[in-house]
């Protein structure tokens, strides 16, 4: 994080291209090198070194060169003091939770989160590590207020949430939490720093799955946790060095490379998803559309306040029809691929059936099953036409 930032005050589009992507000083190559070395030459007298330190080049599990460049860039994108990049979004989530929580602490987390967050807080850490947790509808500030206990240490949520797209009021949650000395962490993966910079609303921590929009090409995994220098030192020392979910230098390099076009791509994800959502909403065969950019969506007004350039690339929708209709429609799609994940150049669709284990946590309209769609950066008319022909192939009623 020691590199000088020449691009201070410039627009994100400029900073995304330049920050962390400086020329290689050894050769003059205009793109950064990949430093695959797992270890670094030690000083004359290594005997006094702290082998768990991250601030010097010792061993790549303590911190790699390409990792450091990416951390520098993400701090810049988020306006954060410090950042730790790890092997995946889930490694970043668990490193944050591991470094902040201890036995006896209580955590409030949202009904709508990534599945691993649910597993950690609902199934794994309670018994293993004596962490108390409550699943709370974090779109309702009164419900959060009612769930606060003397030992509440952390409130964790996503906005928009995966997969219902529900919107939580970041500023209101931060105000309530800080009145009670509670920390706030936001998983910002769906919104990305292009649309939302949660530190502007006072949160303590931001987590991003870099696997998604920031890398953007569906070809590597990574995760970031951002916060104060003191807290990130804890993440490095406790979780990165001693649990070891480090990112490979090659993946850090790929993500740095992909992130150069991130603002450009994100605007297309925003525009395409809005167009597809608006089209879907008009279709007689569609039972509901969840997308924060639609005025009919419950969190729309709040989303307008918290999301700057658009509403992200993910939407969910239901069909008027039975379980297997969802599977049959997917077989007709030519542009969309049936696969999990999001933030790739290509559009992806996944069917979540009525028996999904967390369906009881979602609003009523989701209960019959639904699709989660990650809109890519293809031409938006091709995406709409693809959905239309797939609906028609199953005899579903559509309009233009
Ligand atoms: C994908 C995702 C994660 C997990 O990230 P990985 O890189 O797959 O480990 C966490 N949170 C959200 C909201 C996600 O969509």
CATH number at residue 276: 3.90.1150.10
User: Which one of 74, 95, 114 would you pick to mutate in the ligand 1 pocket, going by the greatest count of ligand atoms within 8 A of its CB?
Assistant: 114
pLDDT(187) > 70: yes
Q: Domain for residue 7, yes or no?
A: no
142: buried, middle or exposed (CB in 10 Å: 19+, 13-18, 0-12)?
exposed
* Whether residue 65 sits in one domain with residue 201: yes
Distance 282 CA to ligand 1 centre (A): 31
Q: Is the pLDDT of residue 1 over 50?
A: no
DSSP 168: -
Vertex 202 angle, CA 109 and 304, to 5°: 80
Position 398 in a domain: no
Mean pLDDT of 265-283: 98
The protein residue whose alpha carbon is closest to atom 4 in ligand 1 is 89
The ligand 1 atom nearest the CA atom of 342: 15
Write the residue with the smallest CA distance to atom 6 of ligand 1: 89
Q: What is the mean pLDDT of the chain?
A: 96
Please check the confidence at residue 380 and state whether its pLDDT lies above 60: yes
Pairing of strands 223-227, 205-209: antiparallel
Q: What's the CA gap between 121 and 97, in Å, rounded?
A: 10
d(CA 31, CA 28) in angstroms, rounded, equals 9
Q: Which atom of ligand 1 has the smallest separation from the CA of 91?
A: 9
**Predicted confidence band of residue 20 (pLDDT cuts 50, 70, 90):** confident
Q: Is residue 5 part of a domain?
A: no
With bands split at pLDDT 50, 70 and 90, how would you rate the model's confidence at 90? very high
pLDDT > 90: what percent of the chain? 94
> In this structure, which residue's CA is closest to atom 2 in ligand 1?
209
Looking at the structure, tell me whether residues 200 and 333 fall in a common domain: no
Please indicate, yes or no, whether residues 238 and 273 belong to a single structural domain of this protein. no
Tell me the per-residue pLDDT of 156-178, one tens digit each, with 9 for 90 and over: 999 999 999 999 999 999 999 99
Does 229 reside within a domain?
yes
Does 5 have pLDDT greater than 80? Answer: no
Say whether both 361 and 327 belong to one domain.
Answer: yes
Cβ–ligand 1 distance for 209 under 6 Å, the answer: yes
| 290 and 187 both lie in a single domain | no
Do 205 and 271 belong together in one domain?
no
Residue 246 has pLDDT above 50, yes or no: yes
Q: Model confidence at 54, in pLDDT bands (50, 70, 90)?
A: confident
Q: Is position 282 within any domain?
A: yes
Does residue 22 fall inside a structural domain? yes
The finding on whether 76 has its CB within 6 A of some atom of ligand 1 is: no
71 lines ligand 1 (CB under 6 A): no
Q: Return the ligand 1 atom nearest residue 189 CA.
A: 13
Q: What is the distance in A from the centroid of ligand 1 to the CA of 222?
A: 9
CB of 208 shorter than 6 A to ligand 1: no
Flag whether 300 is in a domain: yes
- pLDDT value for 25: 84
Residues 226 and 278 in one domain: no
Atom 8 of ligand 1: nearest residue by CA position: 89
Q: Which residues pair with 136 in a beta bridge?
A: 110
Q: Taking residues 18-46, what's their average pLDDT?
A: 92
Question: Same domain for 105 and 236?
Answer: yes
Question: Whose CA is closest to atom 7 on ligand 1?
Answer: 89
Residue to substitute in 86, 87, 90 for testing ligand 1 pocket (most ligand atoms within 8 angstroms of CB): 90
CA-nearest of 80, 103, 71 to 236 is 71
Is 187's C-beta closer than 6 angstroms to any atom of ligand 1? yes
Q: How far is the CA of 116 from the centre of ligand 1 (A)?
A: 8
Q: Are 240 and 86 in contact (CB under 8 A)?
A: yes
Q: Is residue 85 part of a domain?
A: yes
Domain boundary among 206, 232, 259: 259
DSSP 3-state of 60: helix
Q: For 98-122, how does the pLDDT look when each residue is reduced to its tens digit (9 = 90+)?
A: 999 999 999 999 999 999 999 999 9
User: Of 202, 167, 146, 134, which is closest to residue 301 (Cα–Cα)?
Assistant: 167
**Residue 19 · residue 72 · CB < 8 Å:** yes
User: What is the CATH number for 152?
Assistant: 3.40.640.10
Q: Do 205 and 313 have their domain in common? A: no
Does residue 24 register a pLDDT over 90? Answer: no
> Which of 259, 283, 316 is the endpoint of a domain?
259
Indicate whether 241 and 276 sit together in one domain: no
Q: Does residue 211 line the site of ligand 1, with CB under 6 A?
A: yes
Q: Domain range for residue 291?
A: 262-393
| Residue 23 binned pLDDT confidence (cut-offs 50, 70, 90) | confident
**pLDDT at position 2 over 50:** no
Clarify whether residues 200 and 61 are in a common domain.
Answer: yes
Taking CA atoms, 162 is separated from 159, 188, 197, 313, 361, in Å, by 8, 10, 18, 12, 12
Check pocket membership of 162 for ligand 1, CB cut-off 6 A.
Answer: yes
Q: Check residues 55 and 218 and name the one with the higher pLDDT.
A: 218
CB of 90 closer than 6 angstroms to any ligand 1 atom: yes
Q: Which of 244, 259, 274 is the last residue of a domain?
A: 259
């Amino acid at each position: 994080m020691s590199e000088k930032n020449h691009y201070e005050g410039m627009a994100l589009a400029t900073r995304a291209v330049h920050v962390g992507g400086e020329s290689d000083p050894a050769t003059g190559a205009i793109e950064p090198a990949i430093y695959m070395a797992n270890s670094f030459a030690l000083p004359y007298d290594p005997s006094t070194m702290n082998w768990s330190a991250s601030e010097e080049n010792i061993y790549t599990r303590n911190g790699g060169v390409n990792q450091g460049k990416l951390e520098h860039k993400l701090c810049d994108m988020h306006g954060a003091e410090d950042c730790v990049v790890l092997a995946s979004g889930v490694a970043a989530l668990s490193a944050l939770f591991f470094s902040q929580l201890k036995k006896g602490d209580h955590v409030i987390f949202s009904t709508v989160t990534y599945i691993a967050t649910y597993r950690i807080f609902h199934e794994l850490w309670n018994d293993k590590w004596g962490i108390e947790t409550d699943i709370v509808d974090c779109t309702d500030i009164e419900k959060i207020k009612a769930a606060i206990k003397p030992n509440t240490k952390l409130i964790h949520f996503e906005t928009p949430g995966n997969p219902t797209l529900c919107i939580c009021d970041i500023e209101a949650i931060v105000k309530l939490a800080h009145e009670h000395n509670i920390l706030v962490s936001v998983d910002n993966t769906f919104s990305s720093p292009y649309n939302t910079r949660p530190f502007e609303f006072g949160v303590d921590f931001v987590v991003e799955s870099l696997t998604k929009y920031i890398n953007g090409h569906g070809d590597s995994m990574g995760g970031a946790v951002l916060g104060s220098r003191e807290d990130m030192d804890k993440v490095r020392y406790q979780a990165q060095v001693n649990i070891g979910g480090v990112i490979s230098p090659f993946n850090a390099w790929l993500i740095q490379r992909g992130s150069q076009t991130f603002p450009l791509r994100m605007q297309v994800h925003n525009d395409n998803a809005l167009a597809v959502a608006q089209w879907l909403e008009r279709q007689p065969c569609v039972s509901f559309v969840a997308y924060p950019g639609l005025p009919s969506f419950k969190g729309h007004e709040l989303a307008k306040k918290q999301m700057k350039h658009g509403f992200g690339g993910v939407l969910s929708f239901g069909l008027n029809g039975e379980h297997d209709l969802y599977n049959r429609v997917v077989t007709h799609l030519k542009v969309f691929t049936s696969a999990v994940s999001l933030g790739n150049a290509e559009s992806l669709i996944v069917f979540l059936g009525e028996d999904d284990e967390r369906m009881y946590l979602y609003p009523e309209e989701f209960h019959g099953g639904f699709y989660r769609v990650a809109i890519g950066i293809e031409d938006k008319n091709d995406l709409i036409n693809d959905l239309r022909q797939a609906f028609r192939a199953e005899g579903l009623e559509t309009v233009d």
